[in-house]
Chains A and B, each alone.
Chain A
């Protein structure tokens, strides 16, 4: 019923709901802040991990995930609140775009909205808040770009920066104790790519057993496959033929073909022809004179035997990614037809040594001394698969950050330094702006300062005091100071060597502001009736 007592007709579908004005806004704030609060305890070097447990029949307790990675946590969560979904979405985008800072982006958006809610309670119109935030965002972004430094890609400083960035990124992960070791490892892997950003060339192999310290970077390429029985286990100066072709029997590709025979003799003839066809194919392969033959598809016993007889080592059923890597590493062409043996030199890949190696319990094939040295393999060891998974995610984050840094090359000081500087820039701007927007700009600064505050809180330090002291240091002109989370004090980041990639911060700032603005603009939530699902 409306105010005058008219009975309103039902306009929407039965279970569809509509919330307006304050109710709608309240819903978005509560949802977004809840999500931000959930992940904020993982922030910083002293952040805690979360256990993710799947629900559903038969899966309880079977596969749990222990992680500190914001994107992984948020991706696995099932939420219904639409604003919360937006936060999850930006975290995912952050993961795809720069690979790290996935927690930061969700927490920053949540903190912005928390501040926004206070302003709305003070009866400031959402559009005014947004107008203020836009000014603040520009100021913050400008400051961030101003304080960042750039080094030449070839220089030693840049190399040191990379190691520092890797260490900073790793410090909030499980492997923080071994961060020196892993930082070095990741930087070496990324530098091998020589500026290209194709992460596919860095392969990560996880094998349970040993300790995390036993992980290593292998400059060769490791294929998680076995050499077929009866072939040589060690080949020097290998000529590699990489193929993607059916080696079981060639099915006839012409549509509608049927084989119809009327006697046993004919069956034998067809069988012979089939065999002949296979042999023919093998013969053609032999014309290339390879010493190793890698195929993506299955190889049946017969062709395998033929190849083995010719002294060729056979690797079958390599997965597609593995194939592409083998091809890239050895400089081979991936073949599906075999009619051009004269182009042999261009087609075959080379490597100095192929051997079967044992890592833990598993046999693998190692290609070392390859023609193109871009591909490499990181072998991770650890006492359980959960640890390995988490280490894998951490390494992935580091690699992404490093690649982004190699592309962008701008770095900033870590330890909350950039956030505090951006906040300071916003505060200065707020003094110059007339009108209500100034309140929103101050709110933006407060939200930015929340990030170092949360990092302190997670470490169990007195955040209020630390952040205030931090502010004072910056005011004094010590622009490279930041939080020292090892002993809970304010220290010079230059001495501590804590650096972060500017692009990650930039993307987090942009995405969080956009998301907060998007949620702030909403004054009406219409939910459709949930689709009915047949229960199995």
Chain B
């Protein structure tokens, strides 16, 4: 088609470089796109739910990670197909916005595309399909708002929050300790949360990993843990009632940014320079000491001489503290970050109950713990585990749990998990389908089928018969008018998710359905793919 003929039968070129470009059009393009996206969704679908399996990912350098987190899987998969990449972004935007439900959103998109494929085969125009999906999505979202319940997060020692965290952690490798880890996550979030503004700054929760021990040994430290030790081996290992001087200038002679030369032409100058150099260090240490500080944390390095002077003045110091840690410490201890020695004043010092060095294992690794900070608004979760892969996965899992709790603090409405919310929406959408008088009716109906795909997939992963269990749940929902009936994944003997306490946040569910629909609509609009041939 890229070659056409004019009135005289002479050929002319429409698309240049035809030989080096590959082009797919029409139905072929739709199908190819949908199949590629489905391939990704298929890979992820076995990770869904409490009995979902993990994926092992080997990076280009041979590093191994094992994970259950949808966003991490697709990110590390090295996907090159352009449409499949859209799903990667879908998962990542869910991760960025909500932090949890990254697998579910991709699986839902996959199910929607599957339905779209059959509709295309029926000869329905892609735009009609996407219109139908759009209308169905609105209905589903509205229904979610109706079935959502407000929970009291304060009640019963924040039991609801812990349960929600447990739901998020249930599908991970750490699920054995989900209650303990859930509690840690809840306490961490509540410690830093601003309940009046309903806001949580997640930067204040630091997650530090350290191999060794077991996942049970994971602890919450009401303070900050930094992976550093004192700059001089003989400095005090513990400071109580610490007054912290937080510096972002090195204990070294100044290096002006303007290029300059000092020219020395005689011995007199040489001596003077030497004296001045010595004086610098003395002055610097004196300025810190005079302010009343009893520990100095510095973002930069120390000269040997300065280091010793600090020791001599009984001023423990830490060098090369990372920028993020400096900010965190500043927030927690109320210290001001001081960029020049001349600016040090007693008011700018931060306060903490104690700073001490702790030691791990036999390899003599040390970390610093800063506890009882003045403005206790920073906590650290120290994750332990038998191997690097375990601690990495635990870190991702705890991050998910923290995000869920934050979302609940922002918006305390929940829906129930176990596929019950999806089923309820599917039923509502199905009802609505009959009211649509145009071709879109088919698309709306298919949307309902796709929503049912989620409980289907859950049941499948748990080793239940998917068709029977979904059918049962559906009929019970209708008969009992109870939108909380879902799939009994853990075989606890009840399908009512309220009794099982499987909580998911409303915002996450809504976001999942909206994002998935959007991406599917986008994929359905592509009817022509032009790519370099060797792609």
Contacts and interface: CB of A to CB of B under 8 A. Distances in A.
Contact of A343 (B211, B234, B303, B312): B312
Given A86-B64, A98-B361, A252-B273, A524 B56 contact: yes
Nearest to A197: B359
Interface string A1-21: 010001011111110101010
Contacts of B16: none
A282 B260 CA distance: 32
Interface stretch (B4-12, B96-104, B382-390, B407-415): B382-390
A277 interface: yes
Contacts of B57: 525-528
Contacts of A524: 43, 46, 53, 55-56
Nearest to A531: B60
A511 B215 CA distance: 9
B276 A269 contact: no
A127 interface: yes
- Using C-beta atoms within 8 Å of the partner chain, give the interface range for chain A: 35 or more
A97 B362 contact: yes
Given A96-B363, A514-B385, A522-B54, A257 B262 contact: yes
Contact of B252 (A99, A244, A253, A511): A253
B84 A256 contact: no
B305 A245 contact: yes
B261 A200 contact: no
Interface in A442-468: none
A261 B303 CA distance: 29
A400 interface: yes
A523 B361 contact: no
B235 to A, nearest CB: 10
Interface string B41-59: 0010010000101111111
A510 B61 CA distance: 28
A31 to B, nearest CB: 10
A244 B56 contact: no
Interface residues of B, number: 88
Interface stretch (A153-161, A332-340, A486-494): A332-340
Interface string A232-247: 0000000000001100
A17 B166 CA distance: 34
Contacts of B80: 10-14
Contacts of A198: 359, 364
B262 A256 contact: yes
B270 to A, nearest CB: 5
B20 interface: no
B196 interface: no
A266 B265 CA distance: 7
A269 B268 CA distance: 9
Contacts of B58: 82, 525-528
Interface in B59-115: 59-62, 64, 66, 68, 73, 76-81, 84
A412 B309 CA distance: 49
A258 B79 contact: no
Nearest to A403: B362
B-side interface mostly:
mixed
Given A93-B387, A258-B263, A511-B386, A86 B66 contact: yes
Given A253-B252, A518-B66, A526-B55, A13 B78 contact: yes
A533 B462 CA distance: 43
A428 B236 CA distance: 52
A371 interface: no
A309 B304 CA distance: 27
A474 B61 CA distance: 49
Interface in B251-295: 252-256, 259-267, 270-271, 273-274, 276-278, 281
Contact of B389 (A89, A273, A525, A531): A89
A514 B312 contact: no
A528 B60 contact: yes
Contacts of B273: 252, 254, 257
A272 B81 contact: no
Contact of B265 (A262, A400, A529): A262
Given A257-B262, A531-B60, A273 B277 contact: no
Nearest to B534: A14
Contact of A12 (B77, B252, B253, B389): B77
Q: Kindly list the 3 A-B residue pairs having the minimum CB-CB distance in the complex, ordered from nearest.
A: A511-B386, A336-B308, A523-B53
Interface of B: 31-33, 35-36, 39-40, 43, 46, 51, 53-62, 64, 66, 68, 73, 76-81, 84, 173, 176, 211-216, 232-234, 252-256, 259-267, 270-271, 273-274, 276-278, 281, 303-305, 307-309, 311-312, 359-365, 385-390, 393, 462-463
Given A336-B308, A507-B213, A518-B173, 15 more contacts: A9-B35, A11-B39, A86-B387, A86-B389, A269-B266, A270-B264, A276-B271, A403-B362, A521-B54, A524-B55, A525-B55, A525-B56, A526-B58, A527-B58, A529-B60
Interface of A: 2, 6, 8-14, 16, 18, 20, 24, 28, 80, 82-83, 85-86, 89-90, 93, 95-99, 125-128, 134, 197-200, 244-245, 250, 252-262, 266, 269-270, 272-274, 276-277, 324, 327, 333-337, 340, 343, 400, 403-404, 507, 510-512, 514-515, 517-519, 521-531
18 contacts: A9-B32, A20-B43, A85-B64, A86-B387, A96-B363, A125-B463, A200-B364, A253-B303, A255-B253, A255-B255, A257-B264, A257-B273, A258-B264, A259-B263, A276-B271, A507-B213, A511-B387, A531-B61
